[in-house]
Amino acid sequence: MELKNDLYLRALRREATERTPVWLMRQAGRYLPEYRKVRAKAGDFMTLAGTPEMACEVTIQPLERFPLDAAIIFSDILTIPDAMGLGLHFVQGEGPRFAEPITDVAQIGQLPIPDAEDLQYVMDAISLTVKTLNGRVPLIGFAGSPWTLFTYMIENGGSKTFAKSKAMLYKNPEAAHQLLDKLAQSTVKYLIGQIQSGASAVQVFDSWGGALSPADFKTFSLRYMQQIVDGIKDAGYGDTPVVLFSKGANQSLTALSETGCHGLGVDWTINLDDALKLTGGQVALQGNLDPATLYAPDDHIDQAVKQVLDSYGNQPGHIFNLGHGMQPDMEPEKVALLVDAVKRHSQR
């Protein structure tokens, strides 16, 4: 389908653009009153994410409010562990939990490698959203990185120390690699299914990459993201841009840029000019405003946006985004201001 606005894809290919494209991580979510209405109607998160019509509706909601340059499908990174049979649910105020977390390495051998059809509700949500968008902007598909999924499956939720996950890496590296490999194989199938359903680009969220030392990052995270990039290419989908986002892993930006991905997400703890030096202009960079800036007065947001754009400079290959996701208590008016500032300050 012909896209009316392909700025995001052109920037990912590091082609010249008339201005910097912008979208935001968690742009579809709880800060929007219209999202909260649909969420209340759904009753719980998994019903919302698992009902294609509802997922489509909330994916498009932010575009009705703000002139964003991409939509990202409304889903969750933990769909793959759920499809492996772990039984995902969300506990109010605590986040994701599994009915069957990994507590014994013997479980790993029993885990299936799901096909895209095992996550058909995501594929249906993507194809319905692409049809509804009708070429307005590209739709981004996504998955969690194997290492990030691994931590949730072992810790049974989020963690500050990742003690159980790291204990497995060191005490039982063979089992750890077996699980990471299964997750990487599943993710390749999942992302190819998303591309076949109409996603114009895919992003891998390595939310906890920064919890690993640089050496362990290469062994237990980068290696499996490389497997995903290669798997998508080997299946004949190398033209579809892949973006890798490892939060807190700035020391590994050079290695990440050498995977063959099209773009890298960058968090807010590094300046984009330094990220550019580390990546040598091999990939597009996406980011990297501190999301907390959205709590600031209007003029501060305007200046902070300008600072990020100035830090990247005038060369092609920048997608404006936050360095992580939006928070539920952020005000939609501040997002409108941010998007407007990006457009004003980046006109070429």
Binding-site residues for substrate, please? Answer: 26-30, 76, 152, 207, 324
Which among 39, 206, 224, 312 is annotated as catalytic? 39
C-beta separation of 333 from 4 below 8 A: no
C-beta separation of 317 from 243 below 8 A: no
Question: Does 299 qualify as catalytic in the annotation?
Answer: no
Please state the separation of Cα 185 from the chain's center in Å. Answer: 18
| Residue 99: burial class (beta carbons within 10 Å; 0-12, 13-18, 19+) | exposed
Which among 6, 69, 76, 206 is annotated as catalytic? 76
Backbone angles phi, psi at 266, to 5 degrees: -125, 130
Which among 26, 31, 69, 206 is annotated as catalytic? 26
304 contact partners, CB below 8 Å, separation of at least 6: 289, 290, 293, 296
Question: Does 97 qualify as catalytic in the annotation?
Answer: no
| Residue 333: burial class (beta carbons within 10 Å; 0-12, 13-18, 19+) | exposed
Question: Does 115 qualify as catalytic in the annotation?
Answer: no
Closest by CA to 245, choosing from 199, 294, 287, is 287
254 contact partners, CB below 8 Å, separation of at least 6: 278, 279, 280
Q: Which structure tokens are listed for 217? A: 């990052």
Residue with tokens 């063959």: 260
Question: Does 344 qualify as catalytic in the annotation?
Answer: no
Which among 8, 152, 190, 224 is annotated as catalytic? 152
Radius of gyration of the chain (CA): 19
Which among 30, 36, 136, 223 is annotated as catalytic? 30
Closest by CA to 245, choosing from 301, 277, 276, 284, is 284
User: Residue positions in the annotated binding site?
Assistant: 26-30, 76, 152, 207, 324
Question: Does 76 qualify as catalytic in the annotation?
Answer: yes
* Alpha helix stretches (DSSP H) within the chain: 7-12, 33-42, 45-50, 52-65, 79-81, 106-110, 120-133, 146-155, 163-171, 173-196, 214-217, 223-232, 253-257, 272-279, 298-312, 332-346
Q: Would you name the residues annotated as active-site residues? A: 26, 30, 39, 76, 152
